[in-house]
Structure 1
Amino acid sequence: MELTLNQVHKQFSAKKAVKGISIRFNHGVYGLLGSNGAGKTTLMRMICGILNPSSGTIHMNGEEISHMGERYRDMLGYLPQDFGYYPDFSAEEFLWYVGSLKGLSLHAAKGKARELLQRVALSEVARSKIRTFSGGMKQRLGIAQAMLNDPSVLVLDEPTAGLDPKERVRFRNLIADLAKDKIIILSTHIVADVEYIADQILVMKQGALLMTGTVEQLTAAMEGLVWTCHISSREVEEWNGRYCISNLRHEGDQVELRIVSKVKPADRSTTSVVPTLEDFYLYHFQDEQAAIAGEGK
């Protein structure tokens, strides 16, 4: 099974939202990482056939998806970022309803709903109203509805937004379990969401594909760019203006800084340290983070 994008562009009036992306997806989890506005949602909507590319092609097993119609939709499961629920439906009623929209008989929808609610750990609340669910429970129900047609391709747009840490871990474990025989494409701006489960990470910036690779490959590219040093607390503001600081920890009268920089900070205590994916993200998106901070002033 292979999903292939070849020089995919998307233009909205004067704005080019996606710029010439080419990538091949096979079985496994792909983390689409980038800041808000990077073009992740637009790309995913094109993969799902909701939007057509302005130019370029998307193929599933060698056939262009725009020519496949219902055959491609039957292979696809999608959880959009702002998924609409019917609050007065129970979890099982909601899945029966979505199943009918996907062409399942009521008998088949009931059987599939029972199986999926157990898989996403919601079987005990199958008859509870959705309005009583936490954010994490709703997201797991969203995964269940996307799985009703047993899709080969599962597309999840910012699925952990608003979840607490415990729910995020539960969600990541669920995705890892589902990935055995599927293509799963998960977009996020939360580094930890992809760091632990993604087989490949695709980094998007301003509509373009900046880099792809495993966590190990991306962090290896940061060797010699991450440092720690100790300074006095009165120097923190000055150093914060000079460097990209990824972490700050007080140790008595001293402050330990973790710095992402091409240039070794000028301090005798500076040592090079092993980079993380968060360091990688900050290094490549520090200009956008600075712009956001400036808007808040």
Structure 2
Amino acid sequence: MKLELNKLTKRFSAKTAVEDMNITINSGVYGLLGANGAGKTTLMRMICGVLAPSSGSITLNGADIAEMGEQYRDLLGYLPQNFGYYPDFTAEEFLLYVAALKGIPPRNAKLKANDLLQTVALSDVARKKIRTFSGGMKQRLGIAQSMLNDPRIVVLDEPTAGLDPKERVRFRNLISDLAKDKIIILSTHIVSDVEYIADQILVMKKGRLLMTGTVEELTSSMENCVWNCLVPAREADSWNDKYCISNLKHEGNHLELRIVSKERPLPDAVPVAPTLEDLYLYYFQDESPAKPLKGVSL
């Protein structure tokens, strides 16, 4: 299965949300990484056929998805950033309702719903109303509804937003289990959500595809750009103004800083192995003004 984006562009009046996107997506998990406003949601909505591109095209195995129509939608599972649900439905009722909308026969729908509720660890609350669910439980239910038609292409927009660390780990494990022989596109600005499960990372910035590759390929481009150094705690703010700091910890009256910079910040700064979070912070440090370092007493 091959999904191809060819010079894909989407404009809204004077703003270009996605510009000249060219990429081929095969089976596997793709992490779409970028700051808020990078164009991730617009791109995913075009992939799902919710938005029509201003120019360019999306093809599946050579066929334009706009021309495929229902045939394409039958292959698609979509979890939008805020998926709609009826709070007084039970989890089982909701899945059966969505299955009916997707045209799945009732007998098959019942079996599939029960199977998915077990897969997402909600079978013990299948007959409880959704309004009683935690945020993580609702997200797992959202994943289940996206998988009802056994899709070959699964698009998940910010599925872990607002989840606690334990729920995010559960989610990552679930996606890894579901990924066999499918295209899964996962959008997020939470680096750890894709670092361990994505086969490929797609980095978007201001509507454009900035870079693509495996975690190892992308982080290797940051070799000798991440440093550990020790500075006096009273100088914390000046270092924060001057450099991109990805981590810090107290060492007596000093701070050990992890700095992302193409230049060695101090003669005795030690190069360290870069991570995907280092890369993200380096390329998106201009998305918001520098902030004071938290937890630093001067």
Bigger mean CA deviation after superposition, 232-241 or 16-25: 232-241
Tell whether 2:230 aligns with 1:193. Answer: no
Structure 2 Cα separation of the partners of residues 69 and 168 of structure 1 = 34
Structure 2 Cα separation of the partners of residues 39 and 181 of structure 1 = 27
Matches within 5 A, 1:1-297: 1-266=1-266, 268-290=267-289, 293=291
After superposition, the C-alpha distances for 1:254-277 in whole angstroms (9 at most, x for unaligned) are 2100001111113x4311111110
Tell me how many residue pairs correspond in the alignment: 292
- Which amino acid in the other structure matches residue 276 of structure 2? L
SS at match of 1:23: strand
SS at match of 1:82: coil
Q: TM-score, normalised by structure 1?
A: 0.96
SS at match of 1:59: strand
After superposition, the C-alpha distances for 1:127-153 in whole angstroms (9 at most, x for unaligned) are 011011111111110011011100000
Could you tell me the percent identity over the aligned residues?
71
- Which amino acid in the other structure matches residue 48 of structure 2? C
SS at match of 1:223: coil
Structure 2 Cα separation of the partners of residues 117 and 91 of structure 1 = 8
After superposition, the C-alpha distances for 1:182-235 in whole angstroms (9 at most, x for unaligned) are 000000000000101000000000000000000000100000111110011111
- Which amino acid in the other structure matches residue 59 of structure 1? T
Structure 2 Cα separation of the partners of residues 240 and 67 of structure 1 = 52
1:251 offset after TM fit, Å?
1.1
- Which amino acid in the other structure matches residue 290 of structure 1? P
Q: TM-score, normalised by structure 2?
A: 0.96
SS at match of 1:181: coil
Structure 2 Cα separation of the partners of residues 66 and 234 of structure 1 = 59
Structure 1 Cα separation of the partners of residues 125 and 95 of structure 2 = 13
Structure 2 Cα separation of the partners of residues 94 and 285 of structure 1 = 39
Backbone CA RMSD of aligned residues: 1.1
Unaligned residue ranges in structure 1 (runs of 5+): none
Unaligned residue ranges in structure 2 (runs of 5+): 293-298
